[in-house]
């Protein structure tokens, strides 16, 4: 019996000592009824070994959070509940916004911050991203901070500068004990929703640049604890190429995570 329990525990990557995190960003898709079906199907498809391999977080639209929280609780699912965004203030006159404490109250554990779609369509600046990171930590949740270069920046050879400056802006104010708990999602903007992912060597280079910021600010110990995800056109057929890299600790998956079968295949890849 004890052995079975042990088998079901989340295990770190033996090569890095870091816990893997595979996340589904549903974006503005799946209403709460569709979300219930999707998560039930996903839970049916996932085996204990999958939950030992990686922590799995689902980031649905806000309106799905409460029903999914109830379902995860009542069925004792091992899926972590995530959000796609939050406001940086705790409460107040911010019509249409949702605060970090409201999310924490729903057992949300991970919040995506600074996704390129929010930076682009909702004018989120580095300063706003930084304030949101602070808000997520204040509510004892984990921020998944998205960074990535545009096609133009890549073509001009500015990729690493861009990544370093986005990461630095989002984390440099943190105490080391919080810095090491950050998750950074490297999502090249040109790879998002395009069907063309970055090459594994590009993801590796991006991860090296990202980790170097933590090393410069807090040293090796902190840098080696930070987890880095790759996101941008991840599918069942290319997921393993990224997960094999020692620098990459997980994936942030968009469209391929909407279908539970394809998301399960990504986790099992």
* CA dist., res. 208 & res. 203, Å (int): 9
Identified binder of ligand 13P from the candidate list 114, 232, 236, 250, rule CB under 6 A: 232
236, two tokens: 């069942």
**Which residue stretch of 85-93, 98-106, 186-194, 218-226 sits at the interface with ligand 13P (rule: CB under 6 A)?**
186-194
SS3 state of residue 34: helix
Return all residues near 264 (Cβ < 8 A) that are at least 6 apart. Answer: 42, 45, 46, 50
Q: How many angstroms separate the Cα of 67 from the Cα of each of 32, 60, 70, 81, 83? A: 7, 11, 5, 11, 14
- H or E element at residue 251: strand 250-253
Identified binder of ligand 13P from the candidate list 12, 48, 193, 219, rule CB under 6 A: 193
- Asked if 266 is part of the footprint of ligand 13P (rule: CB under 6 A), the reply reads no
**Which residue stretch of 5-13, 28-36, 163-171, 187-195 sits at the interface with ligand 13P (rule: CB under 6 A)?**
187-195
Measured from each CB, the residue nearest to ligand 13P is 254
Q: Per CB under 6 A, which of residues 97..136 are in contact with ligand 13P?
A: 115
* Torsion 82-92-114-259 (CA) sign: positive
- Write down the least CB distance from residue 26 to ligand 13P, Å: 9
Identified binder of ligand 13P from the candidate list 209, 223, 234, 239, rule CB under 6 A: 234
Q: How many residues bind ligand 13P (CB under 6 A)?
A: 14
Identified binder of ligand 13P from the candidate list 82, 188, 250, 254, rule CB under 6 A: 254
Closest CA to 88 of 127, 119, 144, 122: 127
* CA dist., res. 160 & res. 154, Å (int): 9
* CA dist., res. 115 & res. 166, Å (int): 12
- Write down the least CB distance from residue 148 to ligand 13P, Å: 9
Known catalytic residue: 115?
yes
- Asked if 233 is part of the footprint of ligand 13P (rule: CB under 6 A), the reply reads yes
- Write down the least CB distance from residue 59 to ligand 13P, Å: 8
170 touches 128 (CB < 8 A): no
Any idea what DSSP says for residue 76?
A: T
- Write down the least CB distance from residue 253 to ligand 13P, Å: 5
Known catalytic residue: 187?
yes
- Asked if 231 is part of the footprint of ligand 13P (rule: CB under 6 A), the reply reads yes
Q: Per CB under 6 A, which of residues 11..70 are in contact with ligand 13P?
A: 25
- Asked if 248 is part of the footprint of ligand 13P (rule: CB under 6 A), the reply reads no
Say which of 59, 87, 110, 115 is annotated catalytic: 115
Query: Could you give the dihedral angle defined by the CA atoms of residues 36, 260, 79 and 23, in that order, rounded to the nearest 10 degrees?
Result: -120
- Write down the least CB distance from residue 255 to ligand 13P, Å: 4
Residues in the site for ligand 13P, rule: CB under 6 A? 25, 115, 187, 192-193, 231-234, 252-256
Active site residues: 115, 187
């Amino acid at each position: 019996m004890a052995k079975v329990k042990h088998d079901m525990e989340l295990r770190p990557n033996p090569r890095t000592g870091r816990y893997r995190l595979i996340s589904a960003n549903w974006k503005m898709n799946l209403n709460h009824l569709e979300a219930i079906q999707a998560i039930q199907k996903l839970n049916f498809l996932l085996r204990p070994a999958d939950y030992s391999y990686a922590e799995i977080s689902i980031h649905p639209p806000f309106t799905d959070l409460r029903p999914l929280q109830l379902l995860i609780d009542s069925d004792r699912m091992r899926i972590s509940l995530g959000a796609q965004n939050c406001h940086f203030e705790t409460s107040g006159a911010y019509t249409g916004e949702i605060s970090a404490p409201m999310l924490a109250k729903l057992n949300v554990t991970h919040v995506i911050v600074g996704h390129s779609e929010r930076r682009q369509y909702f004018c989120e600046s580095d300063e706003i991203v930084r304030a949101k990171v602070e808000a997520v930590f204040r509510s004892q949740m984990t921020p998944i901070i998205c960074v990535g270069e545009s096609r133009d920046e890549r073509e001009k050879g500015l990729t690493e500068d861009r990544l370093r400056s986005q990461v630095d802006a989002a984390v440099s104010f943190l105490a080391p004990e919080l810095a090491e708990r950050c998750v950074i999602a490297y999502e090249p903007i040109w790879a998002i929703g395009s069907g063309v992912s970055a090459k594994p060597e590009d993801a590796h280079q991006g991860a090296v640049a990202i980790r170097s910021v933590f090393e410069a600010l807090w040293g090796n110990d902190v840098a080696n604890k930070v987890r880095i995800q790759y996101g941008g056109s991840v599918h069942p057929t290319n997921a393993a190429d990224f997960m094999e890299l020692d620098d990459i600790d997980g994936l942030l998956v968009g469209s391929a995570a909407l279908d539970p079968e394809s998301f399960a295949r990504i986790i099992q890849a």
